[in-house]
Amino acid sequence: MAFYSIGDVAERCGINPVTLRAWQRRYGLLKPQRSEGGHRQFDDDDLQRIEEIKRWIERGVPVGKVKALLDGDKAPEPGDWRVLREEMIATLRQVNPAKSRAQIAIFCQHHSVDALVDHVFIPVRATLRLDHATARAMGSLLDGILIEQAVTSLTESRAKAGRDALLIGWGIEDRTRLWLEAWRLSHRGWRINVFAEPLALPHPEFFPGQHILVWAGETLSDEQRQQLEHWQNQGYVITAHGAADAV
């Protein structure tokens, strides 16, 4: 039987060692064996359990409720993403950047960036797009913190093996959303550079030799699809990133 160190498991499963230790000690989700020297040893069954834990968390189940689900005690409760959104808005109302940063850091320990972007960050930003000063201030604070988190993730990803690409916003106005997509891509194995100013029409000839990812929102228009195909036929390495045009 093969055994893996906590570092090996962290790399294989994409989970921080600190999080793995918390899943074991605080939540009782893992029971690794110990080597003669007292080090944790995980086997293939542990790896499978970790993947199951990740799947529950990505569906929005709080980590404290996962053990009961793994043990077959009860079905997942609906509305868990709603709870996280409400918690985030309540913290933002305090207008305390340090608390909001800490809250997002905790969310990131227990949920994938993909899930948080789709189920928490985007919906909360939409809720805060209201026409009064308090909501706008809260939204501006949140955007700044999210961009900080994205930049940190992009910086960390450059120290790892991965694919390099330049992310360009195409015909969009939401710059924060562009950074959220960059953050998402950095957790999918991309080493992303961001062209921070969205363009009405990207010019791939300005970026020779680079793999270009364009973000035009959830889907491309017919005109954008035709233009993208034209660039690709010219030999440019340019692809669309998005829900309907995934890279």
Domain count for the chain = 3
CATH number of domain containing 22: 1.10.1660.10
In the chain, % of residues over pLDDT 70: 94
DSSP state of 201: S
Residue 247 lies in a domain: no
> What's the pLDDT score for residue 243?
44
Is the same domain home to 148 and 165? no
* Residue that is last in its domain, among 154, 175, 193: 154
Query: Beta strands 238-240 and 190-199: pairing type?
Result: unpaired
Task: Give the pLDDT band (50/70/90) at residue 245.
Answer: very low
Using CA atoms, how far residue 41 sits from 18, 29, 47, 72, in Å, is 15, 15, 11, 25
- For the stretch 40-86, pLDDT in tens is 999 988 988 998 888 888 777 788 888 887 776 554 455 678 888 99
Among 68-72, 113-117, 170-174, the minimum mean pLDDT is found in 68-72
**Structural domain harbouring 19:** 6-70
- For the stretch 202-232, pLDDT in tens is 999 999 999 999 999 888 899 999 999 999 9
Is the same domain home to 66 and 87? no
Task: Give the pLDDT band (50/70/90) at residue 176.
Answer: very high
- For the stretch 21-45, pLDDT in tens is 999 999 999 999 998 888 899 998 8
* Residue that is last in its domain, among 154, 185, 218: 154
Query: Beta strands 238-240 and 212-215: pairing type?
Result: parallel
Using CA atoms, how far residue 212 sits from 4, 117, 222, 230, in Å, is 37, 22, 19, 14
Residue 147 lies in a domain: yes
> What's the pLDDT score for residue 72?
65
- For the stretch 122-143, pLDDT in tens is 999 999 987 677 888 899 999 9
* Residue that is last in its domain, among 154, 169, 193: 154
